[in-house]
Structure 1
Amino acid sequence: MGDSQYSFSLTTFSPSGKLVQIEHALTAVGSGQTSLGIKAANGVIIATEKKLPSILVDESSMLTFAAITFRFCFPCSGVRPFGVSLLVAGFDDKGPQLYQVDPSGSYFSWKASAMGKNVSNAKTFLEKRYTDDMELDDAVHTAILTLKEGFEGQISEKNIEIGIIGNDRKFRVLTPSEIADYLEEVE
């Protein structure tokens, strides 16, 4: 018997010691759009590819970023954000923070992280470019260069999105014209 009979349970380990649904979810996340987060000295940026799954999808219905204005935590009693990997940016009493939550419910604090189909190359690139004293503008440039590393085709303000939370603690998504200005600077 294989692990397939254990594919329907979130909390039952297979004989080989695996949570099969978590493995399926991690595989799904690994084939998704490349997304990354970078913690700067004065804030956090999150950047992602913006790719519609079909030309028939209404672009206005696609939600890439969401501002969360309340405290939240995941309970530890077998409840997981199944099939979801999140980059969470914000501030606490220690300053800017970046967390990544994976489908198992595990979460870690990061200086910079990536997920999606180009995760290995993106993380390698971030390891080479990241510095602790990086400012938000440098983080945006680094994010664009990281996305360019694994991007299929020409990168433009139409196919990436960038969100920023700065020292003012207000989250905002860069406009296409702001992204175009950053793209000119990295050319």
Structure 2
Amino acid sequence: MLVDESTVQKITILSPNIGMVYSGMGPDYRVLVRKARKTAQQYFRLYQEHIPVAQLVREVAAVMQEFTQSGGVRPFGVSLLLAGFDDNGPQLYQIDPSGSYFAWKASAIGKNMNNAKTFLEKRYSDEVGLGGLGGSIVVEAAGCGGGSSVGIEDAIHTALLTLKEGFEGQVSGNNIEVGIIGPDRKFKVLSAAEVQDYLQEVE
């Protein structure tokens, strides 16, 4: 493949506490990102606090569902994984092109997602983290969800191992992305060098 892999971005920050990754058509994703950021900003201007994760998920899913039944438009050609941290702790949602959405402890979307999901089920069924084709977001689950406590380092390693399970070809800091969020940290996308360091740890 002749595409410069370092120019492909899969993870987007929607607000300081929420990030999103996709699988599917990039232009459709960019439209949804703009709508989600606008919704998050409107909420912040009105209430002076960041939008709850579940509320932003509902808003994005409503837009996607509306495009399945409106004349003159087509459904969005993307599946989304949206992760964030708010007063209810770490949360992960998968949103389908139909507009349906589900909360997950861990999930994967994109090519070879079945292998990745199987890996997650076998290895860390209680962890919160996610992987999309070429991108992953991990949520530090500090003392949430039935008493599970997952450190950010362990969650990053799990996400990278999951990506390696479902990724075709050589995995490197240039062709995958990792975003992190936790109770005391804003959403951040790791640099290629940081991802490469973590990859060396899991090999």
Q: TM-score, normalised by structure 1?
A: 0.63
The answer as to whether partners of 1:90 and 1:169 remain within 8 angstroms in 2 is: no
CA distance in 1, matches of 2:123, 2:154: 10
Aligned positions of 1:102-181 closer than 5 A? 102-130=96-124, 131=126, 132-181=148-197
Count how many residue pairs are aligned between Structure 1 and Structure 2. Answer: 133
CA-CA distance at 1:155 after TM superposition: 1.4
Number of the residue aligned with 1:79: 66
Q: Which runs of 5+ in 1 are unaligned?
A: 1-53
- Deviation at residue 57 of structure 1 after TM alignment: 6.6
Distance 1:63 1:185, change over 3 A: closer
The answer to whether the 8 A contact 2:65-2:97 is kept is no
Q: Determine the structure 2 residue equivalent to 1:11.
A: none
| Aligned residues of 2:82 and 2:94 also touching (Cα < 8 A) | yes
Partner of 1:93: 87
Is 1:91–1:169's contact at 8 Å kept on the other side of the alignment? no
Would you say the 8 A contact 2:95–2:102 is kept in 1?
A: yes
8 Å Cα contact 2:112/2:166 also seen in 1:
yes
Quick check: 1:185 aligned with 2:179? no
Q: Which has the larger radius of gyration?
A: 1
Larger helix fraction of residues: 2
Q: Structure 2 unaligned runs (5+)?
A: 16-39, 41-50, 68-74, 127-147
The structure, 1 or 2, with the larger RCO (C-alpha pairs under 8 Å, 6+ apart) is 1
Structure 2-normalised TM-score? 0.58
Range 108-117 or range 88-97, more displaced: 88-97
